[in-house]
Amino acid sequence: MSGCIFCRIVAGDAPSTRVYEDDTLCAFLDIRPITRGHTLIIPKQHATNLDDLDPALGAAIFTLGHRLAKAVRRSELAADGANLLLNDGKAAFQTVHHVHLHVVPRRHGDRLAFAKGFLLRRPHESDLTAAAIRAGLDRLDTEERDTRA
Ligand code: AMP
Ligand code: ZN
Q: What does the pLDDT average to over 66-80?
A: 97
- Over 90: is that where the pLDDT of 124 sits? no
Return the percentage of the chain with pLDDT > 90, whole number: 96
Residue 87 CB less than 6 A away from ligand 1 = yes
Tens digits of residue pLDDT in 18-31: 999 999 999 999 99
| Closest ligand 1 atom to 94 CA | 4
State the DSSP string of 56-119. Answer: HHHHHHHHHHHHHHHHHHTSTT--SEEEEE---SGGGT--SSS--EEEEEE-TT-HHHHHHHHH
Q: How confident is the model at residue 135 (pLDDT cuts 50, 70, 90)?
A: very high
Give the three-class secondary structure for 138.
Answer: helix
- Over 90: is that where the pLDDT of 1 sits? no
Q: Domains, the chain, ranges and CATH?
A: 5-143 (3.30.428.10)
CA distances from 32 to 29, 38, 58, 142 (A): 8, 8, 24, 31
Tens digits of residue pLDDT in 81-97: 999 999 999 999 999 99
- Over 90: is that where the pLDDT of 2 sits? no
Task: Return the pLDDT at 60.
Answer: 98
| Closest ligand 1 atom to 16 CA | 20
- Over 90: is that where the pLDDT of 149 sits? no
77 vs 57: CA distance, rounded Å: 28
Instruction: Please tell me what DSSP assigns to residue 131.
Output: H
Residue 18 CB less than 6 A away from ligand 1 = no
